[in-house]
Each structure stands twice: as C-alpha cells, then as structure tokens.
Amino acid sequence: MSDEQQEITPAELAAAKVADPSIQLVDVREPWEVAIVALPDAIVLPLRSLPDLTDAIDPDLPVVVYCHHGTRSEQGRAYLAANGWPDARNLTGGIDAYARDVDPSLPRY
C-alpha cells in the first residue's frame, strides 16, 4: 500500500463518509480528549488498549483511524494493517485538522 492509500485528508474523509456511511471511525485518543470533541459515531479505542479491543471493529467495513494530530492514529493504523485491516487509513492531521478544515464548529484543543 502506498502512503497515499494509508492516509486520508479531512476533506476526503468528509466526502467519503457521505458516499459510504459504513466507514468506521476509530478514535484512539484518551477518554478525556473524546469528552472535548469527537466525530459522530466514532468507536473509541484508546491506543494503549487497541490490541485488546479490536473485536469492536468490523473487519468487513472500511476503517479510518484518528487522534488529535495524527501521530497516535498512524500507530493505530499500522497496528490494524498488520492485524487484519490492511486497508485501514489514518486521518492526516487528526481531529484538529478536521475541525480546522471541514467543521469549524467543532471545539479545538
């Protein structure tokens, strides 16, 4: 998989969710971060717990992993790609970039 296939921009994600609402959003941030802001219908699986919680992710549906800025979610994407989700993608810039570029009504921290 090329780097382009491993990443998805906030604008691409917004368009993709309209075209395919079955895309699973996996939020690998900590619960206190999720309490500040989260994308609708995201599955919250903190990165440290991800290996124990992958049963919450449907292997037959597309997956986009996100965090605050994209570093932890890239680690989560790599873990998922190596463990049954080869097409998992990382949200470039995380929820912060999504709030800045797609939905300015979302709180930023």
Q: Is residue 25 within 8 Å of 45, Cβ to Cβ?
A: no
Both structure tokens of 30: 């900590």
Could you give the dihedral angle defined by the CA atoms of residues 42, 46, 49 and 52, in that order, rounded to the nearest 10 degrees? Answer: 10
N-term to C-term CA, the chain: 32
- Active-site position among 65, 67, 80, 91: 67
Known catalytic residue at 67: yes
The crossing angle, in degrees rounded to 10, of helices 94-101 and 10-19 is 80
Catalytic residues: 67
